[in-house]
Amino acid sequence: MTRSPGFDETDLRRLAGARSFERGRGYLSAVTRLDIGAESITATVDGSDTYEVELTEDGDGGLSAWCDCPYGQEGNFCKHCVAVGLTVLAQAGAVPRQRSAAASRTRALDTWLDSRTREELLALVREQLAEDRGLRRRLELRAAAAGEDADVVRERILSLFDTRPFARYGYVERADARAYRRQAAEAVAALRALTAGGRSADAVRVAREALTELGRSYGEIDDSDGLIGDVATELAATHLEACRTARPDPAETAEWLVHHLLDDVHHATDIDLSDYQDVLGEPGLARARDIAVAAWRADPKGWAKKHLVERFLRADGGDVDALVAVHAADLAPNGRTHLVIAKELGAAGRAAEALEWAERGLREAVPGGGPDDELVAFVCERYARAGRLADVVTVRRDLLRARPSLATYQHVRTAATAAGTWEGAERADALKTLKAAAHPCEGRWCGGSALVDALLDDGDLDAAWQAAADGYGDQRQWLALADAVRDQRPADALTVYLRGIEPLRSRTGDGAYARMAELLLGVRACHRALGTEAEFATYLAALRADQKRKRKLMAVLDQHGL
């Protein structure tokens, strides 16, 4: 029995969200080529480009959709899907008849095809091949894979990974990635056909070249939707399947795998050598390990080589001293590698050595930037655990001098408070460090500094105000100060608020309007504290008269009672 649409406007709004639903209403006239089939509904929608849409209802009344617009390709129920759904609902009464007609056409086509002779079907296929180049290419590839000519198969498979037909500007854009994905997927299917047809050795050889070719091309493709990454994963799986069937020479396979993993092109396919254990066996794994170690020794700073050797060591049981040696061969200037070594030693129960390496990282960190924050935290946590609170303060103080900021100041304050040394010389020294790092300038609207932020964070408002007045405060800090002191110093805060409003008079946009309303509320609070509310009313009336053409601003002010 044919059926009406199993969805309504409520379903469309729920799936799309209110914004996309309302935008979809504006595309009703753009829906063309609507085809209501027995199982699915397809249509074309003209937007900034022409998009293909498909709606599918499952047996339980659920609705799913696909659209090839960028938003739809991310899995969203987009405005184009809404437009098609609303178009279907507008003719809901005719849907059962249209579905019945579609089912009848399908049955008629099946009956007609069943009644054709072999010669007639071949003639029909050849007719389609003459008109559809994509279909012709796919069938030619399948024919070659079933035949004997390995070179022809290789050439045609590798041609499918060529990005040039899709790179209009030397780069495969996101909109063209889907078409390239379909072509590359054909190549993967052909490789699998080779393996299934008893030609797995050929599949191994061609898959290796394809992996390299795709890896080289991947950086020239906008794969925001992950489509090409999925094909790359399938290609790697196809290579592994072929290897498991063909059982190529373990040593030679190991050499290829290691060289591929050490090549920059391997990132696209993300091959995992551990998946090949059954293909390589112990001799192949030993050969792979030897090649990786030799490559690392020749270039200890090479990240890929270091990473591969580290994986072998962990697979062999994780010799801690060997891992330390690998990391120690290339120490990062900020102590980050020292931290990695410290964590390895700590996990092995060698706490004293772990702390020694971490302390060494602090000492050897390049002056200027200072050590890695996580390394500092690692050392301070262990010092605190051992009751060495004064040492924690020293480490935090050194980091403040290397990287003066509100965060490093707060860490010194926390450490010194725990040690009972914050009030007095320690705080004064920390503020002196922040002031030395700041650059005051003339005027109050530039030169924002960590010094003012630190004084605000301490709640020392008088000192913060003075620092800002001395040129160490920017607009953000002045407004924060005004908010903090307006109950005690409303006249001073009022001056800041009024100064903040002036540049907003010439601006438009929701952000500027919201900010002006916020500042005006501060101005009103100051006038109330000063007992000069009539003066505020005069100022507000003049401002509204000056800004009256900005209707949205007037609405925002009304919403805030201004």
Q: Check residue 357 and give its pLDDT.
A: 95
More confident residue, 147 or 490: 490
Which amino acid makes up residue 480? A
Residues 6+ apart with CB under 8 A from 562: 517, 520, 521, 524, 540
Q: Check residue 524 and give its pLDDT.
A: 94
* Per-residue confidence band for 148, with pLDDT thresholds at 50, 70 and 90: low
Q: Are 230 and 270 in contact (CB under 8 A)?
A: no
Residue 431 has pLDDT above 80, yes or no: yes
Question: In this predicted model, what pLDDT tens digit does every residue of 210-220 receive, in sequence order?
Answer: 998 888 888 88
Q: Check residue 438 and give its pLDDT.
A: 83
Question: In this predicted model, what pLDDT tens digit does every residue of 66-91 receive, in sequence order?
Answer: 888 878 877 789 999 999 999 999 98
Return the sign of the alpha-carbon dihedral for residues 245, 247, 253, 257: positive
What's the mean pLDDT in 487-498? 91
Q: Are 286 and 277 in contact (CB under 8 A)?
A: no
Domain boundaries, the chain: 9-115, 486-562
Length of the chain, in residues: 562
What's the mean pLDDT in 333-356? 93
More confident residue, 267 or 374: 374
Q: What are 41's strand-pairing partners?
A: 36, 55
* Per-residue confidence band for 529, with pLDDT thresholds at 50, 70 and 90: very high
Separation of alpha carbons 369 and 270, rounded Å: 34
Separation of alpha carbons 53 and 82, rounded Å: 10
Question: Which residue stretches of 247-318 are H helix?
Answer: 250-261, 277-298, 303-315
Residue 439 has pLDDT above 80, yes or no: no
* Per-residue confidence band for 444, with pLDDT thresholds at 50, 70 and 90: very low
Which tokens belong to 357?
């390496």
Please state the pTM of the whole predicted model: 0.61
Separation of alpha carbons 518 and 208, rounded Å: 63
What's the mean pLDDT in 163-179? 82
Number of helices (H) and strands (E) in the chain: give both, helices first: 28, 4
Question: Which residue stretches of 388-532 are H helix?
Answer: 389-402, 406-419, 427-437, 450-458, 461-467, 475-485, 490-501, 510-530
Separation of alpha carbons 20 and 23, rounded Å: 5
What's the mean pLDDT in 148-162? 81
Q: What are 45's strand-pairing partners?
A: 31, 51
What's the mean pLDDT in 15-25? 90
Residue 443 has pLDDT above 80, yes or no: no
What's the mean pLDDT in 153-170? 84
Q: Check residue 442 and give its pLDDT.
A: 56
Question: In this predicted model, what pLDDT tens digit does every residue of 219-267 receive, in sequence order?
Answer: 888 888 787 888 888 999 999 999 999 999 999 999 999 998 888 766 7
Residue 1 has pLDDT above 70, yes or no: no
